[in-house]
Structures are given as C-alpha cells and as structure tokens.
Amino acid sequence: MTLLGEHTDYNEGCALAIATSQRTTVRAGAAARGTVEVASSELGVAATTLAAPSGPPHLLLAVALATAAGSPGVRLVVDSELPLGAGLSSSAAYAVATALALGMTGDPVRLATACQVAERAAGSDVGLLDQLAVLLASRGCVVDIDFVGPTWTLIHLPGSIGLTVVDSGERRTIAGSAYRTRRKECEAAANVVGPLGRAARDSLASIDDPVLVRRARHVISECERVVEARGALARADLQALGDLVDAGHASLRDDFEASTPLVEAARERLRRTPGVTGVRLTGAGFGGVLLVVHEPDAAVGIEGHWSGRLEAADGAGVS
C-alpha cells in the first residue's frame, strides 16, 4: 500500500510504499487443455477458455497471465487475507502471486509490467506502483520508487513511527470509479506541461482549465511530499510525517476530488484519536482504507471496522 505518492506512478513521479502482513497465496495445478479455472475462498469457482475468455475480472486476469506464461491449461486455488476493494492492493497481490505460481520469472520491472498488462486486460487501467511494491517489499523497510526508469531504494521504517490501516467502510473498484477520468485529466494536463511527476509548480500557470490545474497540482505537490517524507523517515520525525500525510489527504480530497462523505467522517474520528499525527485515504481513492500515522503505543481503530498494524512485512505478502 502507499505511504505517500498517490496517482504519481502513471505520471512519472515517485512514491513511498509498504507491504502489509496479510498474505495472498495462489497454488497452480493442471486443468484441461485450453481452460483456466480459479477457485477462491471469497469468490467461489469460475472457469473459462483461453481461446474465448469471459467471466469476472479475477478470472480474466488469470487468463491473461496464463497466456503470457504459455500455460496450456491451469487451475488456480486462491486464498487471500486482504479485503477486496479496501485499497490494500489486493488485485496486485493476486496478480503477482498468480504470475509466480505460473512459473513466470524475470526482474521486478518485467514481472510488474506483466501483472499490469493482465490487470488492464481485466478492466483496471492501473499503474506500476502496487505491483512493484508487492515484489520489492522488505521487512522493516519502506520502498522508495522513482517511476522514471523505474528505480528504487529501501528506507528503514523507524520503530518510533506507528502505522495502522483502518477500513473507512466505503467500498470501491478502480474499474467502476472515477479513476479513469482522473487519468485522462492528468494526461490532458501533461500535454501542456509535460509529465506531471517531473513538472514544477510554476508550470501550472500554463494550464487554462481550472480542473486540470487542480489535478496537476495534486501530482506535483504529492511528489514534493514524497521527497520531504524521505527526510522525515530518516530523522524518525513522527510529527513531520503525520503533517505530510494530512497534507496528502487534503490534496487528494480537494485537488483530486477522490474522497467521499463516508471516508471523511471516518477520517475525522481517527484524527481525533490521542497519539495520532496524520490520517489519509490511501490507494486510488473513492473509498477503501485510511492510513493512520501515530505513536507506536496508541490505540487506533473504529469499532466495527477492519484494521491492522503495518510492520513493513517482507516476502511481499504473496506466495
């Protein structure tokens, strides 16, 4: 999941990401030639053919990866601890776990790109952030990704900084949200000022449409926050990181218009919790989970809502 850097991956920007301890496991076995079957503890069993694929998105994703892997036919058994539609990159974890179960190899960029292509075939026009984060995660570290390249480094997560994710109660899907509209708006702004992740604030004056100005300003300022957050993590500065997370949420809410009333109500409750220094919506937006930055011993959560502490798990949460 994203610590900071929302909607920067497809804009040639930068981001900080961290993996949760929840795992997604995919086991591959033989199936009739030309068929793909997916058995999921949450979604039941779905099957289709390689020649004329049809069915739900998770099945179409499996078909795309099976085709890329050269599989003649496969049955996949999926077991995931990640809640669907919560902004915790459940689809990316599923894609990466499926690719590995099918025996796909290569460097992280190649594997992440293959998973990105598969997700797009299933109807989600995603960037590379989630797939790379899943592949690169290391225990006790935050993954610092520059999407020009892409290149990456690992940053130590200080023990004095607590991180928790809390379900807002608002479900969302990338395919069914305004995510595609935001991407098109970013592309329109980039046609004027160049890649937003590398643009300067003063370039905003070149954009005539006020909506595109706001979209571009979010991406530009979000990349600035990523740079500042690197320093906050190095200093183990809990308050500075919380302030940046709060600012990131305000930008995502106001300039990117990716929040909802239900999300805002949940965020306000969490922000008033003693020991909390910052709260923001994470993932593509329009619902999902909230990231909370807090003192390590703070009790963080909302009764009746799923929550989990983040400990920068290794193994990418997939197997």
Indicate which residues carry an active-site annotation. Answer: 130
Structure tokens at 86: 């919560």
Measured distance CA(216)–CA(226) in Å, rounded = 16
Strand (E) or helix (H) holding 307? strand 307-309
